[in-house]
Amino acid sequence: MKKTSTLILLAIALLGLQSCNSNDDDQTASILDGTGITLDGDVDCCSAEEALQVYKFLKTVKIIPELSTEVDGKYNVFAYSKTGKFSVGYNEIYFVAVKKGTGNYVKNFDVTNLSPLMTMTAMNMKHSTPVGSSVDSFNDKYLAVKRGWVSFLMASTDKDFWVLSYDVKVLGHQKTVADASFSVEALPQGQTWLQSFKTGDATYFISLVDPQNYQIGSNSISAYVSKKSNPATQPYVVAEEVFTIEIVPTMPDMGGHSSPGNEALTKQADGTYQGLINLTMTGYWKIDLTVKDKEGNVIAENIHFDVTI
Amino acid sequence: MWTAVVLAIATIIQPADTATDRSLQLDEVVVVSGSIQGVKRSVKGQVASIEEHLLELNHTDVVRRGSYAWEPVVNNMQSERVSTTIDGMKIFYACTDKMDPVTSYVESGNLQSISLNSGLNGNPQSTGNIGGSLDLKLRKVGFDNDAFRLNVSAGHEWNGHLQVYGADVALSSHRFYTNFGAFYRHAGNYEAGGGQTVQFSKFGKVNAFTNLGYRLAENHILEGTFIYDRATDVGYPALNMDVYKAEGIISSLSYRWQFSHPFLNSWETKVYYNHITHVMDDTTRPDVEIHMDMPGKSWTTGLYSILRASNGHHNASVNYDIYYNRLFADMTMYPGGAAPMYMVTWPDVGTLNTGLALADQISLAHHQSVGLSAKLAIQSQQLNNYEGYQALKVFFSGMTDAYHQVIGRVAAHYAWSPENWKLTIGTGWGSRAPTVTEAYGYYLNNTFDQYDYIGNPRLKNESAIEVNGGIQWHPLPLLNLQWDANAFFFSNYIIGEFETRLSSMTVGAEGVKVYYNQDHAKIINTSLSADWQPLEWLKWTGQISYALGHDAQGDNLPLISPWAFQSRLDFLFNRFSAQISVKGNARQAHFGHKYGEKETSGYTILNLSAQYNISVQKTLLTLRAGVENLLDKTYSTYSDWNNIPQKGRNVYVNLSVSL
């Protein structure tokens, strides 16, 4: 059903383009049915094919209105996450810029300085949290959706609240979003996707990427290691230091049952840490972590992620 | 190439019914009531359980995990190496812990007899029968029998308050026959010797069956069977769990063309379908650390077509069969508070197997005969459950979701029967594909050695060479002495071996074992038996048997019988007969310590039994009574899983009436 409607959409879009090209006076623009997008051959905006790609992607995510904004009355910038919410640990955040009037997606734009900030009123303390180094497109050919990540250290409460600031530049129009409030939910029991360790004076945070995608069998495991900033109100960027993080998944409910063939998280060229995790069944898995430095010295142990699949 | 040669030279033996033709490799126990002499049957008569009937067969034993659903063992080999068919139909158990050998899905009332082909000389439908093949022959009343017959039986055993009730009706004419009936069995927990109650040993079972036959034309016969069997609340004292429900549906339709031809006898084609649902239950057990659901499902559909031919010298058959079986089992564990843990323990394995079997029993001059049999089968397996497949891939990264095997067997024997003697020798070669548990089982906890077992999809077929021989001697007309022996020399023997790199799943397990092919292994069985009837009313039979089994390192294999003996006196009068028997095992000195087996002490028990027949016109009434383990000994046999104790003194009485 879904496929059929997509095909119909594509057909309508292509028809629209064709009528555009034929210089038909009565129909200078066509409408991508149901989306509010007008395809008028604007070079700043997506082609029908690109628009459809964006449209399809946006169907898989949910908007976060409190982090969306308007730029100079000309563009809307919308923020999304997978669930329309954020939770403690690694979260991806997506941005799309839309031209007001036509509703079409802007082909390319920039989001920079993603800066989350937690204010803990009871303790009169402010701190940031691990954030991806930049907000980028998925790839060179697909520029209209920008993706960044934030790994939240803690959940919002009555007294502890999160705000996010970022800069956006759409076709020469700049806007700074300052201190937009939003909330972060706690993870359910049996899920801990963020851990910290200290070495010397530095504090590092390991953020586990998307463990909710794990299935029975072999899974690739990926993570980021971020370094706490000084001052702590600055976003914690991905650490330059190189570590090796050994992983041992165990099931405490099954007397510490473990799985064979797991591969340690090692740093890749793109800054991520990649490894392999084998899960023999569903249920609650405790992933014991041992962090080693470049020389192989253990610098942190007795820390673990919790994942329930 | 060799297959063509094998098929060209070989053929299968049809078990002939006359005693002289019967080789020492073929054995049969008769289940139905009646007064036929000279056949084997349980002293408890028709109401005995299938397993009690089975125990009458040579080289046959059972592995007992409770008081219900015992696993047949032939030549000291269990289900993996023994084929069990129901009237030629393939059927596969659905429990990953072997709580439901397929013999548990029928009732004595369904059966005419159970035949055993020892070793590689299997019945035409059997595959993978290295140890032997059992065929449970259904009780079909047949055409031209009594127009109406009603059979009713009831029995009670005091130990465990076992009750058995059965009734069936048979209608027969030249054109049509049917017999149908129902059986009910129920028992509470039994008591071991000394009066100690064995907890979780109760069971309940209902069974209903019907057979139909219709003569389409004089020599064209259509026959159908339907069996429904349901066991509930079955206790397994040797295991950590019981069974909530074990349900089997067995159905078949066959067409038989009988020829009036110099050598072609009949051509029978049968299609069948059976379905088993097995649900384990640990909710009634105290101290359950983690509650688990472990259901299993097995269904099989298949066809066989057999052409039988005979003349004065040959008794031959050609059989083609094909079956498709699906096995699925999973497990969900519920730790308090945390998320359920789920795994697929049998990854919905589809097995398609097709084979051609040939057999010939050839009578030669000077009281000699030769039997030849062979079968070639090809098999392909598909893992249909993605989750289970991915889970196994963690352990075998290069595995695929489809496997193919070629399985074959060929056997020959020669018999020479000069006056007062009979000598037989035989040999054979055969292979079997790994079972689903051995190839794809996933963390199956074995309470025998306390290891979790993981299957190995890379296993090679196991094969064995068998040699057997026997001598019968009648030095006096009423004295008969018999010695027989067989030896199986295995290659690529499949057995679980401790894998230190893996961590166990089950709480309290010793570790993980993975099935591997051992380079070689051997199992040797021998028995010496005698019967003597010095007086018309007195008969003595005695038997002593011994077996040994060694793995590639020369260490003992598990579950191999120690010295076993029995001696029985039969008192035979016209309507009354009585038996006194002594049975026992020596201490199991050569137990499989390496495989987690514990030593079993020897035992001797004394049994008494008696039967009384009354027949008035066509009404036959049989009253049976007896005492098992008269001296109330506390004992267990080597094949009692985890050495759970056997029943203590057990008094039984049963009555069968046939009108």
Across the interface, whether the CB atoms of A253 and B338 are under 8 A apart is answered yes
Residue A259 to chain B, least CA–CA distance (Å):
7
pLDDT digit string, tens, across residues B573-615: 989 999 999 999 999 999 999 998 999 999 999 999 999 999 8
Q: Which residues of B touch A (CB under 8 A)?
A: 290, 333, 335, 337-344, 387, 389-391, 393-395, 397, 443, 501-508
Judge whether residue A30 has pLDDT over 60: no
Judge whether residue B114 has pLDDT over 80: yes
Judge whether residue B6 has pLDDT over 50: no
CB pairs under 8 A between A and B: 86
Across the interface, whether the CB atoms of A254 and B397 are under 8 A apart is answered no
pLDDT digit string, tens, across residues B622-655: 999 999 999 999 999 999 999 999 999 999 999 9
Residue of B nearest to A257 (CA): B505
Give the per-residue pLDDT at B212. 96
Q: Quick one: tokens of A16?
A: 């629209």
- CA-angle at B149, arms to B146 and B154, nearest 5°: 145
This prediction's pTM: 0.87
Give the per-residue pLDDT at B17. 34
Judge whether residue B501 has pLDDT over 90: no
A177, A67 Cβ separation under 8 angstroms: yes
Read off the amino acid at residue B177.
Y
Give the per-residue pLDDT at B374. 96
B277, B243 Cβ separation under 8 angstroms: no
Judge whether residue B210 has pLDDT over 50: yes
The backbone torsions φ and ψ at residue B629, rounded to the nearest 5 degrees and listed phi first, read 50, 60
Give the per-residue pLDDT at A8. 47
Burial (0-12, 13-18, 19+ Cβ within 10 Å), B293 = middle
Across the interface, whether the CB atoms of A284 and B503 are under 8 A apart is answered no
- Measuring CA to CA, how many Å separate B377 from each of B326, B355, B406, B407, B431? 18, 4, 6, 5, 10
**List of chain B residues whose C-beta atoms are within 8 Å of the C-beta of residue A192:** none
Q: What is the mean pLDDT of chain A?
A: 87
Across the interface, whether the CB atoms of A281 and B341 are under 8 A apart is answered yes
Across the interface, whether the CB atoms of B335 and A190 are under 8 A apart is answered no
B567, B584 Cβ separation under 8 angstroms: no
Across the interface, whether the CB atoms of A283 and B342 are under 8 A apart is answered yes
Judge whether residue B31 has pLDDT over 70: yes
Give the per-residue pLDDT at B287. 82
Give the per-residue pLDDT at B95. 95
Across the interface, whether the CB atoms of A253 and B333 are under 8 A apart is answered yes
Percent above pLDDT 90 for chain A: 71
Judge whether residue B14 has pLDDT over 50: no
Across the interface, whether the CB atoms of A280 and B390 are under 8 A apart is answered no
- B290-295 average pLDDT score: 91
Read off the amino acid at residue B281.
D
B609, B653 Cβ separation under 8 angstroms: no
Give Cβ neighbours of residue B582 (< 8 Å, ≥ 6 apart): B565, B566, B567, B568, B604, B605, B606, B607
Rounded to whole angstroms, how far apart are CA atoms B656 and B621?
Answer: 6
Burial (0-12, 13-18, 19+ Cβ within 10 Å), B154 = middle
Closest partner residue to A282 (CB to CB) among B290, B341, B502 is B341
B518, B493 Cβ separation under 8 angstroms: yes
Q: Quick one: tokens of B232?
A: 């509930």
Rounded to whole angstroms, how far apart are CA atoms A79 and A82?
Answer: 11
Longest dimension (CA), chain A: 75
Residue of B nearest to A280 (CA): B391
Burial (0-12, 13-18, 19+ Cβ within 10 Å), A291 = buried
pLDDT digit string, tens, across residues A112-158: 999 999 999 988 999 999 999 899 988 777 789 999 999 999 999 99
- C-alpha Rg value of chain B to the nearest Å: 24
The backbone torsions φ and ψ at residue A19, rounded to the nearest 5 degrees and listed phi first, read -65, -35
CATH 2.120.10.80, applies to A43-185: no
Residue A191 to chain B, least CA–CA distance (Å):
11
**List of chain B residues whose C-beta atoms are within 8 Å of the C-beta of residue A285:** none
Give Cβ neighbours of residue B336 (< 8 Å, ≥ 6 apart): none
- pLDDT band of residue B506 (cuts 50, 70, 90) is confident
Judge whether residue A23 has pLDDT over 60: no
- A57-61 average pLDDT score: 93
Judge whether residue B145 has pLDDT over 50: yes
B541, B567 Cβ separation under 8 angstroms: yes
Residue of A nearest to B338 (CA): A284
- pLDDT band of residue A14 (cuts 50, 70, 90) is very low
**List of chain B residues whose C-beta atoms are within 8 Å of the C-beta of residue A284:** 335, 338-339, 341
What is the separation of C-alpha B461 from the centre of its chain, rounded to a whole number of angstroms? 22
Tokens 């031959």 locate to B316
3-state secondary structure of B192: strand
- B395-415 average pLDDT score: 94
Tokens 């989750």 locate to B387
**List of chain A residues whose C-beta atoms are within 8 Å of the C-beta of residue B391:** 216-217, 280-281
What is the separation of C-alpha B105 from the centre of its chain, rounded to a whole number of angstroms? 11
Across the interface, whether the CB atoms of B507 and A254 are under 8 A apart is answered yes
DSSP state of A104: P
Q: Which of B503, B504, B510 is the mutation pick for testing A, counting most A CBs within 10 A?
A: B503
Read off the amino acid at residue B311.
N
Which of A13-22, A51-60, B418-427 bottoms out in mean pLDDT, i.e. has the lowest?
A13-22
- A272-299 average pLDDT score: 95
- A18-24 average pLDDT score: 39
Residue of B nearest to A216 (CA): B391
Rounded to whole angstroms, how far apart are CA atoms A113 and B649?
Answer: 86
Q: Which of B333, B334, B341 is the mutation pick for testing A, counting most A CBs within 10 A?
A: B341
Read off the amino acid at residue B224.
G
Residue B388 to chain A, least CA–CA distance (Å):
8
CA proximity to B209, closest of B244, B158, B168: B168
Q: Which of B342, B387, B394, B454 is the mutation pick for testing A, counting most A CBs within 10 A?
A: B394
**Cβ atoms within 10 Å, residue B312:** 7
CA proximity to A45, closest of A90, A105, A111: A105
DSSP state of B643: G
Rounded to whole angstroms, how far apart are CA atoms B39 and B28?
Answer: 8
Across the interface, whether the CB atoms of B340 and A283 are under 8 A apart is answered yes
Percent above pLDDT 90 for chain B: 80
- pLDDT band of residue B507 (cuts 50, 70, 90) is confident
Stronger pLDDT, A1 or B535, i.e. the higher one: B535
CA proximity to B212, closest of B175, B257, B165, B167: B175
Judge whether residue B254 has pLDDT over 80: yes
B456, B402 Cβ separation under 8 angstroms: no
- pLDDT band of residue A35 (cuts 50, 70, 90) is low
Across the interface, whether the CB atoms of A260 and B342 are under 8 A apart is answered no
Rounded to whole angstroms, how far apart are CA atoms B347 and B395?
Answer: 14
Give the per-residue pLDDT at B477. 83
Reported in sequence order, the residue ranges of B291-447 that DSSP labels E, i.e. its strands, are: 291-293, 295-310, 314-334, 341-364, 368-383, 402-416, 421-432, 444-446
Across the interface, whether the CB atoms of A283 and B390 are under 8 A apart is answered no
Q: Quick one: tokens of B324?
A: 């498709």
Tokens 């508070």 locate to B337
Give the per-residue pLDDT at B8. 33
Give Cβ neighbours of residue A34 (< 8 Å, ≥ 6 apart): A9
Across the interface, whether the CB atoms of A282 and B335 are under 8 A apart is answered no
Residue B290 to chain A, least CA–CA distance (Å):
8
pLDDT digit string, tens, across residues B436-495: 999 999 999 998 999 999 999 999 999 999 999 999 999 888 899 999 999 999 999 999
Which of A8-22, A208-222, B577-591 bottoms out in mean pLDDT, i.e. has the lowest?
A8-22
Closest partner residue to B338 (CB to CB) among A215, A258, A284 is A284
DSSP string computed for B34-86: S--SS-B--TTGGGS-HHHHHTTSTTEEEEBSSSS-PEEEETTB-GGGEEEEE
- Measuring CA to CA, how many Å separate B267 from each of A264, B25, B255? 65, 25, 8
pLDDT digit string, tens, across residues B511-553: 999 999 999 999 999 999 999 999 999 999 999 999 999 999 9
ipTM above 0.95, yes or no: no
**List of chain A residues whose C-beta atoms are within 8 Å of the C-beta of residue B341:** 251, 253-254, 281-284
Which of A23-27, B215-219, B298-302 bottoms out in mean pLDDT, i.e. has the lowest?
A23-27
CATH number of A194-308: 2.60.40
**Cβ atoms within 10 Å, residue A122:** 9
| Segment 42-101 of chain A within 8 Å of chain B by CB | none
Region of A18 (left: φ > 0; alpha: ψ -120 to 50; beta: rest) is alpha
* The pairing of beta strand B576-585 with beta strand B564-572: antiparallel
Q: Domains (ranges, CATH) in chain B? A: 2-658 (2.40.170.20)
Residue B581 to chain A, least CA–CA distance (Å):
49
Across the interface, whether the CB atoms of A282 and B340 are under 8 A apart is answered yes
Q: Quick one: tokens of B604?
A: 């001797």
Closest partner residue to A190 (CB to CB) among B338, B389, B503 is B338
Across the interface, whether the CB atoms of A261 and B502 are under 8 A apart is answered no
Residue B443 to chain A, least CA–CA distance (Å):
9
| Segment 147-206 of chain A within 8 Å of chain B by CB | 189-190
Give the per-residue pLDDT at B40. 81
| Interchain CB contact of A231 with B (< 8 Å) | no
Closest partner residue to A216 (CB to CB) among B391, B397, B504 is B391
Judge whether residue A97 has pLDDT over 50: yes
Rounded to whole angstroms, how far apart are CA atoms B312 and B362?
Answer: 9
- pLDDT band of residue A32 (cuts 50, 70, 90) is low
Q: Which of A189, A257, A259, A308 is the mutation pick for testing B, counting most B CBs within 10 A?
A: A257
| Continuous segment of H or E residues that includes residue B8 | helix B2-9
pLDDT digit string, tens, across residues B300-337: 999 999 999 998 899 999 999 999 999 999 999 998 88
Q: Which of A262, A281, A282 is the mutation pick for testing B, counting most B CBs within 10 A?
A: A281
Give the per-residue pLDDT at A148. 95
Rounded to whole angstroms, how far apart are CA atoms B43 and B31?
Answer: 11
- CA-angle at A108, arms to A107 and A111, nearest 5°: 140
- pLDDT band of residue B16 (cuts 50, 70, 90) is very low
| CATH 2.60.40.3340 domain span(s) along chain A | 43-185
Judge whether residue B395 has pLDDT over 70: yes
The backbone torsions φ and ψ at residue B8, rounded to the nearest 5 degrees and listed phi first, read -70, -35
Strand partners, A74: none
Rounded to whole angstroms, how far apart are CA atoms B39 and B27?
Answer: 10
Percent above pLDDT 70 for chain B: 95
Q: What is the mean pLDDT of chain B?
A: 91
- Measuring CA to CA, how many Å separate B530 from each of A79, B54, B122, B325, B552? 91, 20, 26, 43, 35
Judge whether residue B3 has pLDDT over 50: no
- pLDDT band of residue B33 (cuts 50, 70, 90) is low
Q: Quick one: tokens of A18?
A: 């064709």
